[in-house]
Structure 1
Amino acid sequence: MDTYHHEDLRSELLEAGISLVARDGILSCSLRKVAAECKVSHGAPYSHFKNKDELLKAMQEYITELFSESLEKALKEISGSENPLLKLGETYFNFFVDNPNYYNFLFGHANISLDLRNVAPSGTNYKPYEIFKNLVLSILKTNRCAENKQNDIVISLWAYIHGLTSLATMKNVTYDKNWKEKICDFISLYECKELKGIGQ
């Protein structure tokens, strides 16, 4: 099999691995099967990954980076917006609804480390959570939300959007509306007084 026609074989291998895990489970994923999915020689993946564990780690990093870039792009676009949280939540949701295999792998099989403590060192936590947390905190601080409430709101809001995303990406959930059309309605329901700037 010829590998020279693959301009970005590493990304192709990662995408193939993510699809394999979603379809057949993590135990069925191997460098040999990923190579077969990409129609390259069995040895081709070894020029990018030493073994299966390294492949799985790279898959996690690959999705996390794409996810982070999506959130950061949304932040730039909504700078100065009246409701930046709505746009960021919508971006979070749509990223995984458009790529359900990413959600399946990242939150079902990967080894993500998430620090929910208020004192979690900045820059060392899970990057997408840090992006989300920093936006929510900036809104809460602008609205002079009491410090002892801030982290609770960050966690509950992350869990709210994450839970909606989980429902929308599950194959066995039945819903009679278009998830992507409804997400803004759902997020808008979560507008506690601290987020809206109403007096404490």
Structure 2
Amino acid sequence: MIKQQAYHHKDLRNALIEAGIELVSKEGINGFSLRKAAAACGVSHAAPYSHFQNKEELLEAMQLYITEKFSERLESSIQENHNSSEILKDMGVTYVTFFVENPTYFQFLYSQSNIKIDLSLSIPDNENYKPYIIYKNIVSRILIQAHYPKEKQNDAIITLWAFIHGITSLATMSNVSYDSDWKQKVLDFMEIFQLSFINQMGENI
């Protein structure tokens, strides 16, 4: 019999969210249930219903939980950096590090959740995916400062995001092995990409 664990109200909610992310990342959404999340937390199968009406509500909370934590990490990286020449590198490192430390977050968010990212930017920022908009706004500011051609700015934003997102995807895949520390190596990757990008910006100034 599973030993029941004592949780404070908020602690249980977050524990269910974390357990849910882990379960969905490993087993997928179809086999996921509130009962399984409860079992993973060592509480009764009725306990989750004090926080979530159904599994869909828990799934939505899981998505928001990761999105807010990720957004906070990106925003903190921006606030701590006052050097515009280094901010792309720092944000790239922050992006990769966040998901290397939490690979199930990446797997859930981009494989199992229903987040929508509008790369064409045809909708208002407050309706788009928050972490992408944070990244987009910083890159856009740098491009404008560098007098990058306006008609190519969104292409550059997508390219930069795809580059760091691709590295993150590799770093969080269980079937991809690499003999270096991703959190350290990403600095080298970002330097290579940033040098190429800065040189390209220079040609357009």
The verdict on a shared fold, with TM-score over 0.5 as the criterion, is yes
Which of residues 95, 98, 106 is equivalent to 2:101?
98
Choose which of 127, 130, 135 in structure 1 pairs with 2:133: 130
- Contact 1:3-1:44 within 8 A present in 2 as well: no
1:59 equivalent among 23, 38, 62: 62
Would the aligned equivalents of 1:140 and 1:195 in 2 still touch at CA under 8 Å?
no
Query: Which residue of 1 is the match for residue 8 of structure 2?
Result: 6
CA RMSD of aligned residues (A): 1.8
Match of 1:112 among 95, 108, 115: 115
Aligned partners of 1:21 and 1:105 also within 8 Å: yes
2:197 and 2:180 map into 1 onto residues whose CA distance is 28
Partner of 1:161: 164
Contact 1:16 1:37 in 2 (8 A): yes
Does the 8 Å contact 2:84/2:142 carry over to 1?
Answer: no
Q: Residue 99 of structure 2 contacts residue 168 of structure 2 at CA under 8 Å; is this kept in 1?
A: yes
Query: CA 1:195 to 1:154, structure 2 compared with 1: closer, same or farther past 3 Å?
Result: farther
Give the structure 2 partner of residue 189 of structure 1: 192
| Pairing 1:59-98 to 2, within 5 Å after superposition | 59-98=62-101
Question: Bigger relative contact order, structure 1 or 2, given CA contacts below 8 A and separation 6+?
Answer: 2
User: Aligned equivalents of 1:123 and 1:38: distance in 2?
Assistant: 34
- Whether the aligned pair in 2 keeps the contact of 1:113 and 1:125 (CA below 8 Å) is yes
**Superposition deviation, residue 193 in structure 1:** 4.7
Could you say what secondary structure the match of 1:105 adopts?
A: helix
Alignment partners' CA distance in 1, 2:151 and 2:24 = 41
**Range with greater deviation from structure 2 (154-163 or 182-191):** 182-191
Letter in 2 for 1:183: V
Displacement of 1:144 in angstroms is 0.6
Letter in 1 for 2:31: S
Amino acid at match of 1:198: G
Matched, 1:198 2:185: no
Residues 143 and 197, structure 1, Cα contact 8 Å, conserved in 2: yes
TM-score, scaled to structure 1? 0.93
How far 1:146 moved relative to its partner? 0.6
In 2, Cα distance between equivalents of 1:94 and 1:66: 13
Q: Determine if contact 1:3/1:41 at 8 Å carries over to the other structure.
A: no
**Mapped partners of 1:2, 1:79: distance in 2:** 48
Q: Say whether 1:30 aligns with 2:33.
A: yes
Q: Which runs of 4+ in 1 moved over 4 A?
A: 1-4, 193-197
Structure 2 unaligned residues grouped into runs of 5+: none
Q: Is the 8 A contact 2:92 2:164 kept in 1?
A: yes
Look up the SS of the partner of 1:45 in the other structure.
helix
Give the drift of 1:70: 0.5
| 2:49 aligned with 1:46 | yes
Instruction: Describe the SS at the equivalent of 2:125.
Output: coil
**1:173 corresponding residue in structure 2:** 176
Q: Secondary structure at the match of 1:140?
A: helix
Would you say the 8 A contact 2:5–2:41 is kept in 1? no
The separation in 1 between residues aligned to 2:179 and 2:6, in whole angstroms, is 46
Report the residue type matching 1:5 in the other structure. Y
